[in-house]
Structure 1
């Protein structure tokens, strides 16, 4: 159980802070520290988050409000508080790296939202700074990539890694999204005019990269692909198609767009891993009646061969896991702060950098083969 005296602060008051992080903290209850402060660039958004936190987490008094424009209530003032030991950073992509360093410099443990940085160069610089200056001081920094923490994806990984479907031959991943100007995600000001590569493809695409990284038995090493812009308001890019491989072991395709013309989908989203003895298909589906949490459905199909009759017998099983990755990543973070290793390996910034490298390579390839390892090994 985490110390309730070692307070927590939330930096960033956007949609995901309210709709994902607050419910996750509520679910974890007394196992995590009390939220004692919130910060946003504007006083109104910080106040709104404080009010929401007070309701969702049953806090009285509500978290203190910090914002830009008032030195006494600035981010520096928040980070100077001795009763706050850790922060959740849920800020725009280009701002996060500097805030992560600021929080670490103030002696706070940090859990920052994905992606780790807007590009591989700044990501490598941030990681190197942490490793050289702050990790030796005992400070913990993790990147909150909730898809790698999802029990559904981790269960699928166990199936694949165990050899149940044989030696992996190929994989496919497909994400088809329809983003219009009325979308709550599009209306976020920093997404409307993104000053980072890929737009929604970076912000949302790293999830798919993380899921593949979690499920596949080997890391991807090379990628070739094409990127395009099909809706001007989703600049700089909204669609990528790639083929990638894990050395000489297996290869696969990734199709991703945020520019579907319709909300309905001609083909279903999901990831399929095919082996010599079967396949695993993983998809996010609507929640069951009475639940508001989407579900990760895993379908496992295997082939058993009858040596006498030479017949092949297919067997299929289906499992479902409610999505709860945000709660799991937060829980794992605070376990690490308490000196406990849960063995999940969540939040490693090096892994999060691999996810950024995948999207960056897809955006820049233009048909050329890109060595993914060279991207993540790049010295800042």
Structure 2
């Protein structure tokens, strides 16, 4: 048995404290968390205090020297980069250049221009087989609800229409409401939150969005613009659909619905027996409905897959290990490309915009 891989968490914000540390603790038998890094010593120490309950030996690192220490530490196989959207790509590339495998939080980048530059840099530093893995943490692709709904799509015949309705709850009671980087991010909460919902769409339908036409607006002035988007879109299989997103609603609702000739598959966020998750329903042509509830576990599953990948990649060093495709940086990039096209169309008053191919 190989020793559990040693990893670092680069970032010490809300999501690290509320999700990464608890989810890594659930798979602590599979890994060793050696470092948590932040820009400031105070922030790093705060996260380390939480993590020590599960990883007694974890150390804090901070600032440029701390990041360099992690890059230079040959015992570190991988790193989770959980930072402001504007900073993630540069830090990820530094770690990749240092030979570390990286799982970076979504969104993949702020724009497709940044993505193309980043992919070019990645290819130039990692041209050989066995290159470091660059994954994007998109937990929706690992939620059992979307894995199962993708299988159910085969039962509904030819696809006729797709509807995604997102009424979010990004108000002052949400811990991310005051996040300064999201407010200074092109596309704001629409891009940061929206990549999840596009990931769910692309996962379910199993094909790409080719073109969009969208109207954007700004109604809630406590949020950065735009805070509402209504878009028509076309899939490469010829099917059309609608994507509607309201960043903050007094009556939150999150739903995906794919209508076929022989039935409909619907995924709706909800709660059962005190657990949050998704209700997946298959409506058949004879009027029957079968529903199954799947509790949230995507972050757990994507981190477990990353640890599995970096261990296998290390054991097969030089032979070129194929990592989990759902985590690939390009998958995360394609989510961004769809939202970017919608936002561009909104800026052009609803003009048809083709989604950039990546």
Distance 2:79 2:56 in 1: 20
Could you tell me how far apart the structure 2 residues matched to 1:352 and 1:247 are? 18
1:122-144 CA deviation, whole Å, 9 max, x = no partner?
Answer: 01211222123225252111111
Deviation per residue, 1:124-180 (Å, 9 max, x gap): 2112221232252521111110001111111000111x2x01111001001112322
Q: How does 1:185-200 map to 2 (within 5 A)?
A: 185-191=176-182, 194-200=183-189
Matches within 5 A, 1:311-326: 313-326=286-299
Is the 1:353–1:376 Cα contact (8 Å) retained in structure 2? no
Report SS of the residue matched to 2:36.
strand
Task: Measure how far apart 1:3 and its partner are.
Answer: 2.9
In structure 2, relative to structure 1, the CA distance for the partners of 1:278 and 1:2 (3 Å cut) is farther
Q: Is 1:361–2:352 an aligned residue pair?
A: no
Q: Residue 36 of structure 2 is aligned with which of 14, 38, 42? A: 38
- CA gap of 1:214–1:135, structure 2 versus 1, over 3 A, is farther
Q: What SS does the aligned partner of 2:273 have?
A: coil
Helix, strand or coil at the partner of 1:60: coil
Q: Which has the larger radius of gyration?
A: 1
**TM-score with structure 1 length normalisation?**
0.87
1:280-359 → structure 2 map (5 Å cutoff): 280-289=265-274, 293-303=275-285, 313-339=286-312, 345-359=325-339
State which of 61, 64, 68 in structure 1 corresponds to 2:63.
68
Is 1:258 the counterpart of 2:247? The answer is yes
Per the alignment, in what secondary structure is the counterpart of residue 205 of structure 1?
Answer: helix
- 2:20 equivalent in structure 1: 21
TM-score (norm 2): 0.92
* Distance in 2 of aligned mates of 1:223 and 1:368: 8
> Which one of the candidate residues 250, 254, 269 is aligned to 1:269?
254
Structure 1 alignment gaps of length 5 or more:
304-312
Are 1:238 and 2:227 matched, yes or no? yes
| Cα distance in 2 for residues equivalent to 1:2 and 1:8 | 15
Aligned to 2:135: 142
Structure 1 residue runs of 4 or more that deviate by more than 3 Å after TM superposition: 340-344
Q: Which moved more, 1:206-215 or 1:133-142?
A: 133-142
User: Is it true that 1:54 corresponds to 2:52 in the alignment?
Assistant: yes
Secondary structure at the counterpart of residue 252 of structure 1 = strand
- In 2, are the aligned partners of 1:199 and 1:236 still within 8 Å (CA)? yes
**Matched residues, number:** 347
How far the C-alpha of 1:343 sits from its partner, in A, is 8.4
Contact 2:143 / 2:297 at 8 angstroms: preserved in 1?
A: yes
Question: Are the counterparts in 2 of residues 229 and 236 from structure 1 also a CA contact under 8 Å?
Answer: yes
Aligned position for 2:3 = 3
In the alignment, structure 2 segments of 5+ residues that lack a partner are 314-320
Shift of 1:189: 3.2
* CA distance in 2 between partners of 1:257 and 1:150 (Å): 23
Q: Quick one: distance in 2 between partners of 1:149 and 1:99? A: 25
Quote the RMSD (CA, aligned, Å).
1.9
